[in-house]
Amino acid sequence: MDSLSGARVVVTGGAGFVGSWLCERLLAEGAAVWAVDSLVTGTRRNVAHVLDHQSFTLTEADVSQGIPDPGDLDLVLHLACPASPVAYLRMPLQTLDVASNGTRHALDLAERHGARFLLSSTSEVYGDPLVHPQREDYWGNVNPIGPRSVYDEGKRFAESLTMAYRRARGVDTTIARIFNTYGPRMAFEDGRVVPTFVHQALHDLPLTVAGDGSQTRSLCWVEDTVDGLVRLALSDHPGPINLGNDEETTVLDLARTIIGLADSRSEIDHIELPEDDPRIRRPDLTRAREVLGWSPTTSAADGLQRTIEWMDELRRAA
């Protein structure tokens, strides 16, 4: 495929945080979009502005039980899965079910129509990495029985299943490994570091920094991530390809930055580190740059400021 104009696309998890931004981008490029979402972690509010678009359909369905077939398709973009620690720790069995049965149903849908399939995987497949930065040929360091394994190992299984369909059944598949994406439409109670810190800062509450805060994260603005997903979907590369920002920051520095940007009176409160919390995280983007001509363009200062303004607007409207 060279263009999204006229393309027919299914997006599982289309009412979620990243999924809703992806649907918006696909519609802007001229695609017809069928979003499928159980609305367990996604919300209609995320796609309210496109619900009346003539080329957009939202279907409420649990992909682990099956995916409604809209007919001829060009792309199946599989983003459905609880992605925040709060969500997947609350729903461990459902998370594994979506990663396994949900991925298989999405692959079957792509196979029936000869459509290209994209799996939205995660940097969590690298676990608490022993290699830094993380390249796509690194196999990772994941605790297979820890509490986070329902997400980490679920995505690793989804990647394995995707490659099995490619090798054994000839399905045109690809895999994106997404790193720490942030921006508007993240849930306040998401549990990930940016919405947690922003919510605390806006309410002048202590920012809860795990451990001494020396652990690092690499944060990518959501529209940059979506641009990478679109480029990968339109390519013929099988993946995996890292999509993220290779500018690394410590969690403590991030907390201080958000306090400053939010003009907050918050202080910093150090809390216990969660089990299996990764100490370092930064993508090697060589493959993304060489294959897709992609790299993030939004600065952390700009992206965090826009996120703070969005969350503050919702807070004031509540």
Active site residues: 151
Distances in whole angstroms, Cα of residue 314 to Cα of each of 109, 202, 308, 318: 37, 11, 10, 6
Pure H helices in the chain: 17-28, 85-90, 92-97, 103-113, 149-169, 193-202, 222-234, 251-261, 286-287, 300-317
Say if CB 86 and CB 41 are below 8 A apart. Answer: no
Please choose, from the candidates 216, 208, 300, the residue with its C-alpha nearest in 3D space to the C-alpha of residue 261.
Answer: 300
Helix, strand, or coil here: 241?
A: strand
> What whole-number distance in Å separates Cα of residue 242 and Cα of residue 181?
12
Q: At what angle do helices 193-202 and 251-261 cross, to 10 degrees?
A: 40
Q: What is the dihedral of CA 37, 171, 54, 184, to 10 degrees?
A: 50
Please choose, from the candidates 225, 223, 238, 291, the residue with its C-alpha nearest in 3D space to the C-alpha of residue 117.
Answer: 238
> What whole-number distance in Å separates Cα of residue 101 and Cα of residue 254?
37
Please choose, from the candidates 39, 192, 208, the residue with its C-alpha nearest in 3D space to the C-alpha of residue 123.
Answer: 192
> What whole-number distance in Å separates Cα of residue 222 and Cα of residue 295?
13
Q: Which conformational region is residue 63 in: left (phi greater than 0), alpha (psi within -120 to 50 degrees), or beta? A: alpha
